[in-house]
A and B are shown apart, each in its own frame.
Chain A
Amino acid sequence: MFENLLRYRGGRYFWWSAVLVVACIGVFVTHGRAEPPNGGTWQGYTLGTIGAVLILWLTWLGVRKRSYRSSMGTVRGWTSAHVYLGTACLIIASLHSALQFGWNVHTLSYVLMCLVIFSGFYGLYVYINYPRSLSDNRAGGSRESLFAELYELNKRGMTLARLSSPSVQQAVVSSIERTAIGGGLLDQLLARDGSLIALGDGKPQPNPDQQITIDMVADLIPRSEKSQEVVALEELLSVLCRRQTILRRLRKDIRLQGWLQIWLYVHVPLTIALLGALVVHIITTFFYW
């Protein structure tokens, strides 16, 4: 019932792309000895035109995706075709260039195109693999429900800490207040934990994964003399451990979601740069005539 991008209609666009690539190779091998492979032969111009049209069409996905009233296919079909034809473009442009590189705008266009396509490969990889990890990590909930649970655990943890000794109270309250989630771009992408805790001297120190707080409470349980305090500490420990799990899940959620989105910030600007370079590349070739 559900099928991913690559399997759209039994991989219909894989076959389209395969046929296109085979046809292009067919054109390429007609280069004779008299006229070795080059972008300037009739074969080269043909391949170049196909490549340029492909690039324009591939770019048009950004518009089609947002043309919500369009009934020209589905966005899913377009995206599937985008993936396969984009891959084909790598081969077609390579044939067009005949792998003749230099320090010029032509090679720049080729390099930019490769960067766009490889960033697309990365995007495809995360689109296919990360949603399931995200979904498993959320375990039937949502980011909002994880935050809601964290909020409840914070409140419960604070209340329980107030029943314990002042040092526990200070440690727990400060570690809850100074728990960091997210942060800057790198913090998000690497799921870095910048949480702090203030112990005896009141000086904040790093508290990665809330481990210091948890270890402290766990240590205290066998030492406590009052049975009532033991009960409170045991419950506190369970709240803190649950909290640790929720925090890990939240960071993982933010990390995966970050990687799921960040590649577009490379893919799209590079595409625009590619379009610019492509225009210059096409115009300058006319000077060779």
Chain B
Amino acid sequence: MEPTKHVGAGEGGSSHYKIAIVGSGPGGLSAAARAQFHDAAEGVSTPSYVLLESFEAHAKTIQQYQKGKHVMDEPGFLDLRSDFDFRAGTREAILGGWQDSLASQGVNIRYGAEVTRIAQQDHLFTLTLGNGESLTADNVILGIGIAGNPRKLGAPGENLRLVQYQLDDPKAHSGERVFVVGAGDAAIENALGLAAQNRVTIVNRRGEFSRAKDGNLNAVLAAINDSSSSFDCLYETGVKEVIETPDAEHPLQITFNTPDGEKAFGCDRIIARLGGIPPRKFVESIGVEFPNDKPDAIPELSSTYESNVPGLYVIGALAGYPLIKQAMNQGYDVIEFIRGNLIDPADHPLLEYQFHCMPFLRPVNDLLELFQQRIPMFRELNSLSFRELLIESNVMVSYPEGPMFDEAQEKRDALSTQLASRNPKPRMPNLIREGEYLFRKGEYAASFFTIIEGEVVITEDGVERTLGRGEFFGESSLISGQPRLGDAKAASNCILIETPRRTMVKLMNSNEEVRAGIDWIFVVRELRRHFAPTADFKDLRDIALACPISQHKAGDVLFSEGEEGAVMHLVRRGSVTLTRSLDNGQQALVAELRSGELVGQMALMGDAVRRETATATVATETIEINRANFLALVGREGAQVDALQRRVSARMLAVSQMEVRPESGSMMRFLMGEGLGEATDTLIIDESLCVGCDNCEKACAETHGGISRLDRRAGKTFANVHVPISCRHCEHPHCMKDCPPNAIQRAIDGEVFIDDSCIGCGNCEANCPYDVIKLAYPAPPKPGLLQWILLGRGSGPGEEPGYQPSEAAKAGGKKAVKCDACMSRKGGAACVAACPTGAAIRISPDQFIELVG
């Protein structure tokens, strides 16, 4: 490890810098390198900046990647602007390169300098370090990422070398005496991983493992109770101190406060897994404001990355930019901004391309401002967020068929030629013809459209509506995760912004006004669709404001059978099951309801006593409509009371049919338990037909690069219906969360797939609750079918067990693989087409009733 470098000006006393950079991740390193560049150019003898790193090495998060991990340099179309180099390669090559640059450029970095407090007074920041030392700075750049620092033991000796706060590979240690401190999942997993080849004791501050997942809880209790293993646990025990004992049998001695008094043990290693200290609290303690309490909220920043605290800048993941290249560019830019040099950001050309086919010529910054002013909902956004929104969106321009369109097309073609050598190509402007459909009913897409200019015609249930400048549409699929409800057609001279789901979700989570605006319009449009198709927008907007949106976790009860109800729910995302108690005390599941359906409407339309219990199957949001609002809706002229009553009768009938077949309810309950409540397309196997030939798995591997994306044997079974480990193509895919390069997409027909920009980070694998994503090296090619049949070459069809990836594949790193429902295959899903007995089928939610019936 690099030794601590000199402090710079006024060592020993209180040192002052123009810029203090906190955190030496990609953003911090790049900022420090830029500051160093200017110092060198100006011939400054003492550095005007300092880079503070709490860890003993730079780029802690990347240091913690597994050995040899391939680090990608997404997004490919963005140029790097930094004094440090960065291109895709192994973790070691990248870290080593930065290490060399740190030394060769003479960057003023201090290791082991944990900043515990930052305070501002009279435009001067005072930074207090972990060792009590303090320094001052005119400006502070925060590049501390979002991983947070691990919570330490909180006892003397917590910083000793053999006291670790993470464990890369349990197999790397054997024959050691190890204490694992902590009672969460990480502690349990580490302890059990070590236990096979080490003598391990897990130390729990409490009397039980209450924070652990069920699987881990059972495993740790089984290991503790297993008299044949040496694994044990110290309950209600805290750490008093750790000391080094160089001459003893073990290098460390740990002393505990136990219920029976103090106890000391010799040991080789202590692993403390006590959770992390999220950086948000620290950031807030400086005075930086977050827009809301959501865990993924991002602080409000100006276009120069400055927070509401003047002189305090935030870059990198903490500012909402999770990719290395983005953070490095920001590090460079932010130093220039602080120096008063307001350069165009590195992503500026991307916007120039986006605006290339506009009907009028204006500088990019003017256009940005103009667009923002035209959209009421985005007016209050800070310009950085709006800029980010546009960079990640498609800009669409419509022209009438004819010379104008041709001219724009020529311009676009010229740009395309100019950028032909760029790989991947930056986002191009989108040209559409007047009258062209933007989307059709039934398509799966959750992008969000904003109209900057012109008009768009929406047709839903036969009703046509025209939307104009500043209005938006497409929010329904964005929120419900369901396919488009109608058609959208571009009218004359449109300029539209099509924003992908992920960007909108990020924006809604970080900006309360945008969220409220979209929610409100969503409610207005849902109410109109269900109760008053002919009503005007303005007639409904007050009712919409009076209908709250309630959120329910999986398993939450919306209302219970027998109680009196005064509200109905309109499901807007997720799914709700209705159950009824039977005479024999059992609960019969009588219905499963998805987005766009009403729950509990009988309370307002007939008997107020609830006949069913409504439970959220997955994370669910509903619009609550109380009696007064309901009466206001149905009391209007032209209200759809008849249709509403017809739907109620149909529901009553379906519910009664399910109630007399309780076994169907049990099956439904099983399917919901397997996540089908949020599924759109699921592989189901009828075990009474399945002969176990595994042709489905073989077909999957053969059509997907030699790696099967389904595990037939695994997964649960109920009454012959088997749900194998295979993607459910969820309405709101869990895997799409936190994908740094946005590599997980949804096709128009609903298939959720991973594109080539996957960086193999494993977030999707961790986020998928159904274990259907795995990380794998690309499989090597195999001899063909005839060679196998005639000459016996190769392992035959299907995934080759334990295949050896090629060196090139290894160098490229593991990538996430999952089912893409064979979206590009002509004959439909290969697993189903290859099943010889008809046991494998794929079903959508509207077929559940048929399946259980």
Residues of chain A whose beta carbon lies under 8 Å from any beta carbon of chain B: 1-5, 8, 62-63, 65-71, 74-76, 78-79, 127, 130-132, 134-135, 138, 140-144, 159, 257, 260
Q: Identify A260's interface contact among B692, B836, B851, CB under 8 A.
A: B692
How far, in whole Å, are A65 and B686 apart by their CA atoms in the complex?
Answer: 20
B688 is an interface residue with CB less than 8 A from chain A:
yes
List 17 additional contacts besides A2-B686, A68-B703; criterion CB under 8 Å. Answer: A1-B851, A2-B688, A2-B838, A4-B837, A5-B837, A62-B789, A63-B789, A65-B834, A69-B702, A74-B827, A75-B834, A78-B836, A132-B688, A135-B717, A140-B717, A142-B714, A143-B713
Q: Enumerate chain A residues within 8 angstroms of B837, measured Cβ to Cβ.
A: 4-5, 76, 79, 127, 131
- Bound Cα distance A111, B847 (Å): 47
CB of A131 within 8 A of CB of B836, answer: no
**Is A1 a contact partner of B841 (Cβ separation < 8 A)?**
yes
Partner of B785, one of A2, A66, A140: A66
Query: Once bound together, how far apart are the Cα atoms of A144 and B703, in whole Å?
Result: 27
Nearest 7 pairs of A and B residues by beta carbon = A71-B827, A135-B687, A132-B688, A68-B702, A2-B686, A68-B699, A79-B836
For the complex, is B104 an interface residue (Cβ under 8 Å from A)?
Answer: no
**Contact between chains at A68 and B689 (CB < 8 Å):** no
B691 on the A face (CB < 8 A): yes
Given A63-B785, A75-B695, A8–B838 Cβ distance below 8 Å?
yes
- Could you list some 26 contacts between A and B, CB below 8 A? A1-B851, A5-B837, A5-B838, A65-B836, A66-B698, A66-B797, A68-B698, A68-B699, A68-B703, A68-B834, A69-B702, A70-B827, A74-B832, A79-B836, A127-B691, A131-B691, A131-B837, A132-B687, A134-B687, A135-B688, A135-B717, A135-B720, A138-B717, A140-B718, A141-B717, A142-B717
Known: A65-B695, A135-B688, A257-B692. Contact between A2 and B833, CB under 8 A?
no
- Bound-complex Cα distance A238 to B458 (A): 68
A66 — which chain B residues lie within 8 A by C-beta?
698, 702, 785, 797
Write the chain A residue with the least CB distance to B703.
A68
**CB contact between A76 and one of B702, B719, B835 (< 8 Å): that residue:** B835
Q: Is the pair B833, A74 in contact by a Cβ cutoff of 8 Å?
A: yes
Q: Are B834 and A69 in contact (CB under 8 A)?
A: no
Nearest-CB distance from A188 to chain B (Å)? 15
| Bound CA span A141–B687, Å | 11
Most B-side CB within 10 Å, residue of A75, A130, A260: A75
What's the Cα separation between A260 and B836 when bound, in Å? 14
Contact of A67 among B785, B838, B841 (CB under 8 A): B785
Contact call A1/B785, Cβ cutoff below 8 A? no
Which residues of chain B are within 8 angstroms of A131 by Cβ–Cβ distance? 687-692, 837, 839
- Contact of A1 with B717 in the complex, beta carbons under 8 Å: no
Given A67-B785, A71-B826, A4-B838 contact (CB < 8 Å): yes
Which of B714, B833, B836, B847 contacts A71, CB < 8 Å?
A: B833
CB pair A1 B826 closer than 8 Å:
no
B850 interface hit (Cβ, 8 Å): yes
Contact of B713 among A65, A79, A135, A144 (CB under 8 A): A144
- Say if the beta carbon of B227 comes within 8 Å of chain A: yes
Tell me which residues across on chain B come within 8 A of A78, comparing CB atoms.
836
- Taking a contact as CB atoms under 8 Å apart, the answer to whether B838 and A68 are in contact is no
B825: Cβ under 8 A from any A Cβ: yes
Within 8 Å CB of B785, what residues of A?
63, 66-67
Check A71 against B825 for contact (C-beta < 8 Å).
Answer: yes
Please determine whether A76 and B827 come into contact, CB atoms closer than 8 angstroms: no
Task: Provide the bound-state CA to CA distance between A3 and B827, in Å.
Answer: 20
Chain B residue with the shortest CB-CB distance to A4: B689
B87 within 8 A of A: no
Residues of B within 8 A of A140 (CB): 716-719
Q: Which residue of A lies closest to B702 (CB)?
A: A68
A4–B833 Cα gap in the complex (Å)? Answer: 15
For A70, the chain B residues whose CB sits under 8 A away are 827
Chain A: CB-nearest residue to B226: A155
Residues of A within 8 A of B692 (CB): 131, 134, 257, 260
Chain B residues packing against A (C-beta within 8 Å): 227, 686-692, 695, 698-699, 702-703, 713-714, 716-720, 785, 789, 797, 825-827, 830, 832-839, 841, 843, 847, 850-851
Closest Cβ–Cβ distance, residue A97 to chain B (whole Å): 30
Contacts of A138 in B (CB 8 A): 717
Closest Cβ–Cβ distance, residue A71 to chain B (whole Å): 3
Please report the C-alpha to C-alpha distance between residue A38 and residue B227 in the assembled complex, in whole angstroms.
Answer: 80
Given contacts A4-B837, A63-B785, A131-B688, contact A159 B227 (CB under 8 A): yes
Determine if A2 and B826 form an interchain contact, defined as CB atoms under 8 angstroms apart: no
Chain A neighbourhood of B717, CB < 8 A: 135, 138, 140-142
**Shortest Cβ distance from A130 into chain B, in angstroms?**
8
Beta-carbon contact of A1 and B836 below 8 Å: no
Most buried by A among B690, B832, B837: B837
Q: Which residues on B sit within 8 Å (CB–CB) of A68? A: 698-699, 702-703, 797, 830, 834
**Bound CA span A104–B720, Å:** 49
A79 contacts which chain B residues (CB < 8 A)? Answer: 836-837
**Residue of A66, A69, A74, A132 most packed against chain B (CB within 10 A):** A66
On chain A, the residues within 8 Å of B827 by CB distance are 70-71, 74
Q: How far is the CA of A2 from the CA of B827 in the complex (A)?
A: 19
B-chain residues with CB within 8 Å of residue A127 when the two chains form the complex: 691, 837
Nearest to A78 among chain B residues (CB) is B836
- What is the CA–CA distance of A79 and B789 in the complex, to the nearest angstrom? 20
Instruction: Report if A132-B720 is in contact (Cβ < 8 Å); known contacts: A65-B834, A70-B827, A260-B691.
Output: yes
Cα(A127)–Cα(B695), bound, Å: 15
- In whole Å, how far is B516's beta carbon from the nearest beta carbon of chain A? 44
**Closest CB-CB distance, A68 to chain B, in whole Å?**
4
Instruction: Tell me the minimal C-beta distance from B749 to chain A in angstroms.
Output: 17
- Residues in chain B near residue A8, CB distance under 8 A: 838
Contact indicator B838/A76 (Cβ below 8 Å): yes
Contact partners of B714 in chain A: CB under 8 A: 142
Complex Cα distance, B832 from A260, in Å, reads: 21
User: Beyond A65-B695, A68-B797, A140-B716, is A75–B836 a contact (Cβ under 8 Å)?
Assistant: yes
Using Cβ atoms and an 8 Å threshold, which residues of chain A touch B691? 127, 130-131, 260
Residue of A nearest to B690 (CB): A131
Residues of chain A contacted by B826 (CB below 8 angstroms): 71
B703/A69 in contact, CB under 8 A: yes
B714 to chain A, nearest CB (A): 8
CA A144 – CA B725 in complex, angstroms? 15
Give the shortest distance, in Å, between A32 (CB) and chain B (any CB): 44
Contacts of B687 in A (CB 8 A): 131-132, 134-135
Contacts of A2 in B (CB 8 A): 686, 688-689, 838-839, 841
A5 to B691, CA, bound (A): 12
Picked from A75, A134, A257, the residue with its CB within 8 Å of the CB of B835 is: A75
> A8 vs B839: C-alpha distance in the bound complex, in angstroms?
12
The docked-state distance in angstroms from the alpha carbon of A68 to that of B706 is 12
- Residues of A with C-beta under 8 A to B834: 65, 68, 74-75
User: CA separation between A142 and B716, bound complex, in Å?
Assistant: 9
Q: How far is the CB of A162 from chain B (nearest CB, A)?
A: 9
Taking the closest CB of chain B, its distance from the CB of A271, in whole angstroms, is 13
Least CB distance, A198 to chain B, in whole angstroms: 22
Q: Give the residue name and chain of the B residue nearest to A82 (CB).
A: B836
A1-B720 in contact given A68-B703, A74-B832, A142-B713 (Cβ < 8 Å):
no
CB distance from A134 to the nearest CB of B (A): 7
In the complex, which residues of chain B have a beta carbon less than 8 angstroms from the beta carbon of A135? 687-688, 690, 717, 720
CB-CB nearest in chain B for A3: B838
| Chain B residue, CB-CB nearest to A70 | B827
- Taking each of B688, B719, B825, B826, which has the highest tally of chain A beta carbons within 10 Å of its own beta carbon? B688
Q: How far is the CA of A67 from the CA of B785 in the complex (A)?
A: 8
- Bound Cα distance from A132 to B834, whole angstroms: 20
Minimum CB–CB distance from A213 to chain B (whole Å) comes to 21
Inter-chain CA distance A142–B718, complex, in Å, is 11
Complex CA distance for A62 and B789, rounded to whole angstroms: 10
B92 CB to closest chain A CB (Å) equals 38
Residues of A within 8 A of B830 (CB): 68-69
B670: nearest chain-A partner, CB-CB:
A140
Q: Which of chain A's residues have a CB closer than 8 A to the CB of B690?
A: 131, 135
